[in-house]
Structures are given as structure tokens and as C-alpha cells.
Structure 1
Amino acid sequence: MTPPVATTFDGQFLEPVDRTSMSLEEVIAFDRWKLDACEHPEMDLVVERIGNWAEYGMVKDFIGASTADLPVLRAELPSSNGGTTPWTRSLIALGELDQLVASQPFFEILELVDLGTGRVVRETGHFGSEFINEQGDVLIHFDETHLCVSVGGATVFRSTRFQQRLSADVESAFDLIDVYGASVTLGSPICGPLIGRDDEDGLEVPPTEFEVRPARFGVENIEWRLGALSRLFRASVDSRNPVVWC
């Protein structure tokens, strides 16, 4: 489509030769032309959200862990807002995304599983975080293949399989009890579902049983984030416009 005013292309953007001398009607006509001329559903822009900084960091971590040669992805994905990637580099990045998936990088993690439902209620995360939560001076965390409770830096409970139930000795408290009978009392449950008494029937909710299991956190777990990147790079190539990181 032919633009309604004289334009110039600086290698990245198509703009009027002199927008400051244009009338309001000409500005409106040109901006409408840009919207109608672009094939993308987001008009002159293709907008993709990859995630928050932690989620975006996952993508960079997998790129770093990959055995594939990914020089453009490693160089072009920014560490802060700002910067652009020209469409020629986007074209190479598309191929590197395929190489990243094919190389199947992964991280070993731990999961805390509710055995009653099979639900994963906590996990270490791909970056190896061992922290679960903190209750005053009590720290609940993963240690190697176990869940641990530490008080003042000393470990007082360590287990791979245990129950969490309402304490019989301390009101509004909760006990963790392992298969050998070792226990520790906490002021609140380590994670849901919350345990308490059924006021209507006067019955206690059954104890919840947990198990710590090793698991694999692979590149397939960030598939939708890689899809967002792929769509950005593809739009850049199709439109010959740069990716603008913000």
C-alpha cells in the first residue's frame, strides 16, 4: 500500500519525511495508513509478554544450560529494558530457538507432593531454591532430598515422607510427623490445604501426607514463553521491523 505522505526509512522504521510540518489531517491519515497497512492483528505492533523478570530469567537460564550453539539468543536477549534486535538477527534467532528445544536442557528439582491428591504443592524451582517458608525463627526448607525444619540455624526435623496434622497438645498448632515417629510442632501449616476442625460435626480434618520427590524441570516447562519469543522474532522477520525490548 502506498503511504499518503512522503516517507523515509531509517533501516528500522517507516516515518514521514517531516512530521512537524504535517497538518493534523495528514498525521491522522498517515497513522491510519500504518494501522491498515500492517498484516499483524496488533496493527503496526506485535506485542508479546514473555513473563515477569523471574520467568524471563528462566528462558535465559535454559539458553545458558543448552549444549547447542546459540550465539544470537545469548547476545540479543537483554538483561534489562531497552534495546532492539534487527530483523536479520531475528531470522537467525528463530532457528536457534528450534535448536534450543532440540537440545532438551533440563534442571533437577525437588517437589513436595500431597499424596492424597497427587498435587505438587511446593518445588525447589529450576534455580535450586531450597526455601519454602518462614515462621518467626523457624525456617522450612529443602535440604538435598529432604524437607527440613530449622530453628536458630539448627535442623530439628528432616524427612522425605511425613504427615501434617492438627496438634493434639498445642492449640491452633500443627505437627509434622515422619514415618519413624519423629515430630515437630509448627504455628501454621507448611502449605495447603489448610488443616482444621470441622465446627459443624466436631470432627478433625484427616491429616495430610506429603512426600519429597526428585523431578525434572525441562525446556518443555517454558514452552509458552518460547512460543512468545518465536512469535516476536517471526513478526520481526515478516515485517522487516526490529524487536523492541521493553
Structure 2
Amino acid sequence: MGLDAYVSCRCWQDGLATPCPVGPVGHDEDGHLTLVQPGEYDATAENAFYAWLAGDACPHPHMELVSEGVANWTGVRLFQQALRAAGEERFPTLAAALPDRNDGGFPAEQAAAVLAELDAFRASAVADEVALVDEATGQVVMQYVEACRGVFMYGPGWHAGVDPDGFFVAGDADPPVTLFRAARFTQRTLPDGRVELAAGGTRTVVAMRPVGQHRSPPPERLAVRTRSRSADDYAYLVEPLRRLCAASLATGNPVVWC
């Protein structure tokens, strides 16, 4: 799951689109072009509208001038975290424009300010990042996401994550009980499927999945490290957002999150 966005073309507004077989058609409060159904819901009419929108309404697929996959939600949260570390008050329009879910948007009147703040971010210093890495390869297994309190794994009765103090596994009691914490550790999957975590002579067995289980085999030695970061590391989000803002300024249409 991630954050996508688009900017509509002006074909419908400028009378260049083919006639819609049903109607009326208009923009909703978030900027989506939609079928206005003031009376009882009509599924046939809605299907006809979406077939027109996706078909030959105009040369632009779905009447979208620009459509972007902005970032997955972890990427969004990491960018928001970097904004806060750089001084969120320096980027008020950008910080307010980024959503917490897949809806809403921001109007074309704000696109110039968002572009300017994106440029200011690219020129700013970025705080270091806390990450859990595979010591054998140096590859990042997980980054510390402040908005998630560092948690990136869940299971029955437990959750695990990484924060500036190290890797941790906690039970889901209230308050949570720390089962294991270390800045550097090894892991081993036991025959019964549980995982043995070891650090500094301490060994803990937890009924959990191995960390980095998507790798084959999972890493054996892991460590929490602080990595230096630059604004270029966030180009994955900055560049698509710049393209969306440019399209919004060109058309006068909003950037719509979806």
C-alpha cells in the first residue's frame, strides 16, 4: 500500500472531451471528476461513467494529465520525519499538504508554495537516520519510523521494532513488557519455529518470525546503526511531487491524493 496522486487534464473543463453518455458530471470537493447522482444510486449509470472516463473521453487515460505513485507509506512517514528534523516550520505548506491517508489533496493555488518548499528541502541539511542492518552485507533491514514508534513487526502477543536505543521485542501487555533489547545481536531459528535472540551472553527465545524473513536465509547478525542522510535520499518522493505540482500549475487543477 502506498500514496498515489494525479492531476486532471482540462479536456472536460474546456469542452474538448467527448460527451459523457450519462450525467450530470462535475468535480467533488476533493477534485475528483465524478458522476453527480442527486437521487437514488444508479449502478448502471456509474459503470457507464467510468467506462467513458477510462475509454475515449479524451486522449489522457482516465482524464489525468499526470499520475504518480508518490511513495509507499513507510517512505511518506520517513519524509515527514525528515521534514520535522529539518524544521517543519520552514515547510508549512508542504507539511500540511502531505496526507495521512489516501484521500484529499491540495489546490493549484498552493502548488507554487509546495514547489518552493521542495526546493528549500533539497538545499537543506537532513538529520541522520537510525536503521537496523544485516552485519554480513550492510543492507538495511528496517529504518526507524518515528510515527510508528519504531515498530515494524507484529505477531500474536508480541511486536518488534527498532529505535535509537536498539532493536526490541515487546509483549502486548499494558504496559508492554520488554522481552528483548539490544543494539547488536544474533538470531537463530529453532526447529520448533521459534527464534533465539542473543546479545552479550543473554539469550531469549520468542515465538516470533525471524527478523528479515523475506531474505533467504534471514540474516544471522544484525546491528542498529546511525546512517548519514542527504536530501537526495528523498528524491523518490520529491521528484514525483514536483511533477504533480508542475501539472497543477499548468492546468489550474488540484493535486488529488488517491
TM over 0.5: yes
Residue 134 of structure 1: CA displacement? 3.8
| Paired residue secondary structure (1:48) | strand
Larger-Rg structure:
1
Residue 171 of structure 1: CA displacement? 3.6
| 8 Å Cα contact 1:63-1:74 kept in structure 2 | yes
**Where in structure 2 are the equivalents of 1:90-239 lying within 5 Å?**
90-106=111-127, 108-127=128-147, 129-142=149-162, 144-151=164-171, 152=173, 153-167=176-190, 171-178=192-199, 180-187=200-207, 188-192=209-213, 193=215, 208-216=220-228, 218-237=230-249, 239=250
| 8 Å Cα contact 1:13-1:241 kept in structure 2 | no
Aligned to 1:85: 107
Letter in 2 for 1:210: L
CA distance in 2, matches of 1:71, 1:134: 34
Residue 49 of structure 1: CA displacement? 2.6
Deviations for 1:154-190, whole angstroms, at most 9, x for unmatched residues? 33433222221244xx644332122x32101133423
Unmatched 5+ stretches in structure 2: 1-9, 21-55
| Paired residue secondary structure (2:212) | coil
Residue 102 of structure 1: CA displacement? 0.9
| Paired residue secondary structure (2:233) | helix
Residue 44 of structure 1: CA displacement? 6.5
Cα 1:240–1:144 shift into 2, 3 Å: closer
Residue 230 of structure 1: CA displacement? 0.8
TM-score, normalisation: structure 1: 0.62
Letter in 2 for 1:140: A
The farther-off stretch of 208-217 and 127-136 is: 127-136
Unmatched 5+ stretches in structure 1: 1-9, 21-31, 197-206
CA distance in 1, matches of 2:201, 2:138: 23
Deviations for 1:55-106, whole angstroms, at most 9, x for unmatched residues? 44554554444447445434555666345523x5433432322112112343
CA distance in 2, matches of 1:57, 1:146: 20
Aligned to 1:4: none
CA distance in 2, matches of 1:33, 1:55: 34
CA distance in 2, matches of 1:15, 1:217: 48
| 8 Å Cα contact 1:109-1:128 kept in structure 2 | no
| Paired residue secondary structure (2:235) | helix
| 8 Å Cα contact 1:111-1:213 kept in structure 2 | yes
| 8 Å Cα contact 1:165-1:195 kept in structure 2 | no
TM-score, normalisation: structure 2: 0.60
Residue correspondences, number: 205
| Paired residue secondary structure (1:94) | helix
| 8 Å Cα contact 2:129-2:229 kept in structure 1 | yes
Residue 50 of structure 1: CA displacement? 1.6
The percent of aligned pairs where both chains have the same amino acid is: 25
| 8 Å Cα contact 1:163-1:208 kept in structure 2 | yes
